[in-house]
Amino acid sequence: MSRFEEQSNDPEWIAFRTALERAIGVPLAQYKEPQMKRRLHSLMSRRGITTWPVFAKAIATEQKLLDEVKDTLTINVSEFFRQADRFFEIRDRVLPQLLKERRTLKLWSAGCSIGCEPYTLSMILNEVDPNGAHTVLATDVDMPIMARAKEGTGYHASEVRAVPPELLKKYFVEKNGSYAVNDTVKKRVQFRRQDLLSDPYPKDVDLILCRNVVIYFTEPAKQVIYTSFAQALRPGGYLFVGGSEMIMRSQELGFRATGTSIYQRAA
């Protein structure tokens, strides 16, 4: 049993989860079992499936259903400038502070989904220091989602609704109600697949955004991830988490809270 797993005594569920892990290539033991089951039960109900063994057979033969399961579990809900006040704080307070300490910044969007977050960071970097050779690393465990993110196209009006009008005009191309980011935004962003519990973390990072991702993990898994984030940040670097997230025992991990959902690695 994985050290991240919350024990289950249901053999049919365990067999289904094992089959699903093989099918999608993502270890699921680190995710909270009750949340996973609630999301999957909703999908099963819509499909008229009543048992885990029947569900396992269905995902083995129906690619469309397997894709629906992946979308259900990876929670790919995102938009540009989501909770805009957080990004304005990055623009007005965090980046200027970081730029006082080093000329070239390294930012990381962990759990980048369809690319809204790393591209938002790229826009802000271009506004704050357009001539700087700054980079944004964007990672996710879901390869098809990340492939879409790398294209930087096909964004709906609802996904760009929070973008300030002047930035929407400056950094997006609109065609038939669909939006794409331009090359100025894309050139700063580097995409890479990463499992937060098994793959190496980057080092010497100035700013990490990991928002509304870790809440779906078990408590032991959360501690591993937050410890690894602390080690990935350079002293004085910042970690932004989701609005409903809080790092328990953050001081023990080497963080100090500097605002709502904002932590700084101790110098």
- Residues 202/106, Cβ–Cβ less than 8 Å: yes
Phi, psi of 168 (to 5 degrees): -60, -40
Based on the fold, state whether residues 54 and 113 are members of the same structural domain.
no
Give SS3 for 29: coil
**Do 116 and 219 lie in a common domain?**
yes
Q: Which domain holds residue 162?
A: 84-265
Residues 112 and 239 in one domain: yes
User: How much is the pLDDT for 133?
Assistant: 96
Mean pLDDT, consecutive 10-residue stretches, the chain (267 aa), reads 53 86 69 79 87 91 81 70 92 96 97 95 97 96 88 93 96 94 97 93 97 81 92 97 82 89 89
* Domain presence at residue 134: yes
In a domain, 186, yes or no: yes
Is residue 1 situated within a structural domain? no
Same domain, 252 and 128: yes
* Residue that finishes a domain, picked among 54, 74, 94: 74
Residues 69 and 93 in one domain: no
- CA pseudo-torsion sign 250, 254, 257, 262: negative
Per-residue pLDDT, 236: 96
Q: Which of 83, 84, 80, 160 is nearest to 122 (CA)?
A: 80
Claim to verify: residue 106 and residue 53 sit in the same structural domain = no
> What is the Cα–Cα distance from 132 to 152, expressed in whole angstroms?
22
pLDDT on residue 74: 60
**129: domain CATH number?**
3.40.50.150
The residues pairing with 139 across neighbouring beta strands, listed in sequence order, are 110, 192
Domain identity same for 39 and 162:
no
Give me the pLDDT at residue 108, please.
98
In a domain, 64, yes or no: yes
The answer as to whether 130 is a domain residue is: yes
Are residue 68 and residue 136 in the same domain, yes or no?
no
Domain count, the chain: 2
Which pLDDT score is estimated for 19? 85
Residues 155 and 202 in one domain: yes
221 and 128 housed in the same domain: yes
Tell me, yes or no, whether 59 and 176 share the same domain: no
The whole-angstrom distance between residue 46's C-alpha and the CA centroid of its chain comes to: 27
Q: Which of 201, 205, 215 is nearest to 247 (CA)?
A: 215
H-run or E-run covering 265:
strand 262-265
pTM: 0.77
